[in-house]
């Protein structure tokens, strides 16, 4: 359950953070997430994508945030995209500022600062967070991988479709 919540947080903060994000190069991407002030190691994982699964990630992020956000301001300047949003997620207001920079063919970085207020506390996640996601393209997906596969650093493999199914069952979760 904790892993699924972390991955959903990651899904909502990756390029899926906004509807108009550039498509990532198909293949195997490594994503490393760090959260300031958190004593627990965040997962590093690999994600095999094709055009369809990259679009699915974008759709998941947009539908997770879409109708729940009273503000979503997206600005692009060269290879940098800035997103400011105010969203109501399960009775909690989240004010976020994200800066996405880099090249979606080789490497990009997402820096998100977020402040939550109201609603129940989320165990292990402070009300103010500063998260960084570093992504780099590793090459083609491996022979035993299919688009959507996420391979955790401990070797566990799951597919984005399974995560989406679990999220749809959560209050305010992903709709397909």
Angle 163-169-171 from CA coordinates, rounded to 5°: 115
Per-residue pLDDT band for 63 (boundaries 50, 70, 90) equals: low
Please report, for the chain, the start and end positions of each structural domain, with discontinuous segments joined by +: 2-168
Q: Which residue has the higher pLDDT, 165 or 174?
A: 165
Can you tell me the mean pLDDT for 77-88?
89
Those residues with Cβ within 8 angstroms of residue 21's Cβ, 6 or more apart along the chain or in another chain = 15, 58, 81, 100, 104
Instruction: Report the mean per-residue pLDDT for the chain.
Output: 78
**How many beta carbons lie within 10 A of that of residue 141, not counting itself?**
20
Average pLDDT of 134-146? Answer: 95
- How far is Cα 130 from Cα 61, in angstroms, rounded to an integer? 18
Give the list of residues 6+ apart from residue 162 with CB closer than 8 angstroms, or none: none
Chain centroid offset of residue 86 CA: 17
- Mean pLDDT over residues 57-70, rounded? 64
**How confident is the model over 15-29, as pLDDT tens digits?**
334 446 788 999 999
């Amino acid at each position: 359950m904790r892993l699924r919540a972390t991955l959903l947080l990651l899904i909502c903060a990756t390029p899926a953070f906004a509807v108009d994000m550039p498509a990532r190069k198909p293949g195997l991407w490594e994503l490393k997430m760090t959260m300031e002030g958190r004593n627990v190691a965040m997962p590093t994982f690999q994600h095999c994508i094709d055009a369809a699964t990259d679009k699915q990630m974008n759709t998941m992020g947009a539908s997770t945030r879409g109708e729940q956000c009273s503000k979503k301001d997206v600005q692009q300047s060269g290879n940098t995209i800035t997103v400011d949003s105010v969203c109501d997620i399960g009775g909690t207001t989240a004010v976020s500022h994200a800066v996405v920079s880099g090249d979606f063919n080789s490497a990009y970085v997402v820096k998100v600062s977020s402040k939550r207020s109201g609603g129940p506390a989320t165990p292990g996640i402070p009300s103010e967070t500063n998260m960084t996601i570093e992504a780099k393209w590793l090459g083609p997906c491996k022979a035993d991988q299919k688009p959507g596969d996420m391979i955790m650093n401990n070797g566990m493999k799951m597919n984005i479709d399974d995560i989406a199914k679990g999220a749809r069952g959560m209050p305010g979760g992903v709709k397909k």
